[in-house]
Each structure stands twice: as structure tokens, then as C-alpha cells.
Amino acid sequence: MTGLANRARWIFSAAAILALSAASAFAADMVTLRNGFTIRHETREYRGATTRLYLDSNPANYVDVATADIIAIEKDDTPSAPKPVGAHAMDLNGAIATASTRTLLDPDLISSMIHAESSFNPRAVSPKGAQGLMQLMPGTAARLGVKNAFDPAANVDGGTRYFNQLLESYHNDMAKALAAYNAGPQRVAQYHGVPPYHETRLYVARVIREFNNKKLAQKKTVRKQDAAAEKRAAARVSAPGS
């Protein structure tokens, strides 16, 4: 399967955008789970055995966790990294477009990964030392020839090349490739698939959901445009003197 359209097709699956109902409203809170992981979110919705955490104002961007696994909820005053604007946005869009052309990865997939990895912050550094937009570990960056992981173009280039290698290794299995990008190929091999790490499962689900939602929105836009074009064509045919 080759080409950008085909690469997008095998990952696309229907994703229902659920309405935000009976949701508790907060500023930004931090949930601490029993396994030690923390999840920053803006609102949450208790659904019995599970609690839905809405990561931002988009109701389609959420993760579900077991209610019993939540051991603490605290206010989080740390400001979220802003989405890219102005020159930074143009630089990032250019870096994504270049990487997409080189690797045949869908640009929306790359953007979804960057959102999950760093919230579009080119200076992001994780507690484990991962750096930049696509959170490259120093050793990984060195193997990929990325000299400055805080350079947006170099980081996106290296991150997409690495992810493309993972996709090829797992025969285009998106979930396994994302899990390997997050937790390491050795963990995917150890568990013969997505490892049972809550952080990794949340990451995989978040990227795929956001990517699918973008594709759904694009398909709806195309359908509306096609319907409008057909309506205009029908009006021209039925107009007097046509």
C-alpha cells in the first residue's frame, strides 16, 4: 500500500463524537492514578465504573480511566502550552508538510502526535528527558542524526522518520507503532502488542482518536461542499433559458 491517501486509509476508523453531558466543570485539574501516572484535564464526567477526562475544550478529546484507579484530584495551576501561532505556526506547518512528503505519513497524524507529545511546545522537556515537539530522547535523536532536538524542523523530521521505521517494523499496525514510540519497541515485543501501561494506552487512544476525528471532520466538509455544488448545478439547469 503506497501513497499518502492509502497510508491514511488503513488507520481511519469511525469515531463517534460524544456530547459533553453531565460533566463537572473545573479550571484545570490533575488526576493521580493508582499506578502513579498523572493526567491534566479541564473537565471530567463520572460514568460509574469509568471516569471520562476531557483534556481540553474539545469534547472529542478525552480519555477514559477506571474510577477506582483515581487516588487524588488536585488543582493544577500550571499553564497549558499555547497552540502555535504566527511565525511559529507557519514554521511548524512547513515542518509537518515536509516530513509528510518525505515519509508519506498523513500530516494530520503527525499533528496529532505532536499534540499528544508536547502540546506544540518546541521547548518541552519530559521528566525522563525527552525533548522537543515529538519528544525525542537524546539517544534516539543522536541515532537519527538530530543535532538540535529543540529545532522544530529537525525534531519533526527525526520523529517522523523514527515513527515511519516503527510502522514498517509492525507492518503498518498503528497501535503497535504508537505504543513503541511511547514505551519503546522492547516493551511491545515483551507484551506481544500494546503494553499494559496506562500512560501508553492513553497515548495510543488519544492520538488515534484525534486523527480519526480530523478525518471525519474533513469528510463532512467534503460532503457539504459536494451537496452545495450539486444544488448550484441543479439550479442552473432549472433556470429559465438554460
What residues of the chain score a pLDDT lower than 70?
1-27, 35-38, 76-90, 238-242
Look at residue 72 in the predicted model and tell me its pLDDT.
85
Look at residue 20 in the predicted model and tell me its pLDDT.
28
Grid cell of 108 as nine digits:
494530520
How many CB atoms within 10 Å of residue 175?
Answer: 17
Look at residue 190 in the predicted model and tell me its pLDDT.
96
Provide the residue ranges of all domains of the chain, joining segments of one domain with +.
24-75, 83-204
Look at residue 9 in the predicted model and tell me its pLDDT.
39
> Which one of 42, 45, 117, 210 is the catalytic residue?
117
Place of cell 505532536: 114
Minimal CA–CA distance to 120: which of 102, 135, 140? Answer: 135
Write the DSSP assignment of 159-208 as a string of letters: HHHHHHHHHHHTTT-HHHHHHHHHH-HHHHHHHTSS-S-HHHHHHHHHHH
Look at residue 19 in the predicted model and tell me its pLDDT.
28
Active-site annotation holds for 45: no
Look at residue 207 in the predicted model and tell me its pLDDT.
92
In the CATH hierarchy, which fold is given to the domain comprising 83-204?
Answer: Lysozyme (1.10.530)
The long-range contacts involving 174-182, CB below 8 angstroms and separated by at least 24 positions, are 174/10, 174/11, 174/208, 175/204, 175/208, 178/113, 178/203, 178/204, 178/207, 178/208, 179/203, 179/204, 181/113
Q: Domain 24-75 maps to which CATH number in 1.10.3720.10, 2.30.30.100, 3.40.30.10, 3.20.20.70?
A: 2.30.30.100
Dist. CA 192–CA 170, nearest whole Å? 11
